[in-house]
Amino acid sequence: MKATKLALTSALVAMALAGCGSNADNKESGANTPNNGGTKETNAAEDAKDSGASGEKVTIKYYNWDNGANQEKLATIIANFEQANPTIDVESVPLVTTGSTTDFYKKLDLMAASGDPLDVMAFSHVDFVSERAARGVLAPLDELLKADSINVDDAFYMTPKYDGKVYGLQDISSPWLVAINKKALDAAGLPVPTWGWTWDDFRDYAKKMTTGEGDAKQYGAFFHTWGEYANPVAYSELPHPYLTKDQTPAFGDKSFADFFNLRRAMEKEDQSAKSLSDTVGAKLRYDTEFLNGKAAMIPIATFIVNKILDTTNFPHDFQTVFAPLPASSNDVPVGTSYIGGHYLSVGESSEHKAEAYAFIKYMATQTDVVVDFPGSKAADKNKVMTALVGDKTNLVDLESLGATAFDSRIKTVYEPSYSTSYSGELKTVLENGLSAFLLDDLTAEEAQKQMTDEANAIIAKNKK
């Protein structure tokens, strides 16, 4: 895409305000890196080999949104890293105090647009990495990874890529699954679902677990407002939920009509899922609806485990069991799912790329301090679950969690290289499309056409 620096900066600020930089100043990797004719990435790889040889200490900054207990764990990880790498100091810089990623991205993008040096950045979705790689904010890591003989596709569940290059490492994986209130499941006389169940089965379970009336009603299922809830099939079974390989809208796929109609049927016919209008109007949260017993099950990622264990903020006494994310049909290969996560990237404007890379590699592979489910496939599942759950097995069923989140067959067909600098805008198109379908009583075909037209307008705008 051709654009002036001013236009790019304006576009960046507009996207930041929507919740999603311009190209940061291109600086050589390392203050004392000689210009030997190699690329900046090659020079950074050479620096990685020699890092610390001079004994000169450098400080890198890690921009994140961590707060509370997460900050304490991060401080321990940083201390461990610094002990193993005495020439590198790491300064954690939480850009927000509320934990809001939306506010974090606004501040981060404004810093990038201003040309501030950015060493290491955290991201909550693979598309957010790709968007900023497309704007020139991030540094490619391929030569650094090659120097360490790391094949990212073998080592991690998901890797951010753009234009054929790697722009981040996954330190936390978040496989999507279904969390189920075991009391509600037992009361309905239902077994814990396993790999192979479908969304039609999910609907049937929700009907059977819906009980009570009025304020005492427990819905069988809850769907939040995020794009992932508008069509989980698009996230788990398509290469990309918004775009095809040739960068045309994916919203014409049959899965959108199928899932939209399932959502409507569950809300209006079965009344087994709270309506979108009630969810938006009351600003309902996914965690409180499930953990307060208002919904018997919820599709969600594994980050729900930490919330289940937090009985101070979410008091409850039922055990949660886990099932795989349902498939669209029995023909879908077992193990196919959607794996989100947390990603770390190195800034193109960083003067210490080698040191920044060393830190994100450590973060992505260490398990001395378990914060969440690791992005590394080599992690010991028993060590991870023991560290996370401890003795609170009355709240979290380890058997179903392990069978769901650590099944050797689990895989994703999600292709991050399809992502673009405007993927965030397309997610909003999906969210608005479902809203129009449910609230304006459109047919699925009408909603799909509306989404496709809006997506084509966004694509055309960004090709100028």
* pLDDT tops 60 at residue 15: no
Residue 419: the pLDDT is 82
Phi, psi of 103, deg, nearest 5: -70, -35
Helix axes 353-365, 40-50, angle to 10 degrees: 70
Between 76 and 1, the more confident residue is 76
Q: Using one digit for the tens of pLDDT, what is the confidence trace for 280-317? A: 999 999 999 999 999 999 999 999 999 999 999 999 99
Residue 54: the pLDDT is 53
Q: Is 341 left (phi over 0), alpha (psi -120 to 50) or beta?
A: left
Listed in order, strand segments (DSSP E) in 182-250 are none
Residue 430: the pLDDT is 96
* pLDDT tops 50 at residue 250: yes
CA dihedral 81, 83, 89, 91 (to 10 degrees): 50
Other CB atoms within 10 Å distance of the CB of residue 3: 15
In the chain, CATH 3.40.190.10 sits at 5-173+340-389, 175-337+414-463
Distance CA 308, CA 179 (A): 10
Residue 408: the pLDDT is 87
Residue 416: the pLDDT is 82
Distance CA 268, CA 275 (A): 8
The pLDDT confidence band at residue 30, using thresholds 50, 70 and 90, is very low
Mean pLDDT value across the chain: 88
Q: Pull the structure tokens for residue 448.
A: 């799909």
Rg (CA), the chain: 23
DSSP 39-97: -HHHHHHHHHHHTTTT---EEEEEEE---THHHHHHHHHHHHHHHH-TTEEEEEEES-S
Q: Using one digit for the tens of pLDDT, what is the confidence trace for 164-222? A: 999 999 999 999 999 999 999 999 999 999 999 999 999 999 999 999 999 899 999 99
H or E, element range at 336: none
Distance CA 44, CA 415 (A): 27
Q: Pull the structure tokens for residue 374.
A: 């690791």
CA dihedral 222, 234, 251, 104 (to 10 degrees): 70
pTM to 2 decimal places: 0.81
* pLDDT tops 80 at residue 49: no
Other CB atoms within 10 Å distance of the CB of residue 403: 16
Q: Would you say 344 and 363 are in contact if contact means Cβ atoms under 8 Å apart?
A: yes
Give the percent of the chain with pLDDT over 70. 88
Report which DSSP code applies to 252: T
Residue 2: the pLDDT is 35
Residue 18: the pLDDT is 38
Other CB atoms within 10 Å distance of the CB of residue 41: 17
* pLDDT tops 70 at residue 353: yes
CATH 3.40.50.2300 fits 175-337+414-463, yes or no: no
The pLDDT confidence band at residue 69, using thresholds 50, 70 and 90, is confident
The pLDDT confidence band at residue 71, using thresholds 50, 70 and 90, is confident
Give CATH for domain 5-173+340-389: 3.40.190.10
* pLDDT tops 80 at residue 45: no
Q: Using one digit for the tens of pLDDT, what is the confidence trace for 106-132? A: 999 999 999 999 999 999 988 899 889
The pLDDT confidence band at residue 14, using thresholds 50, 70 and 90, is very low
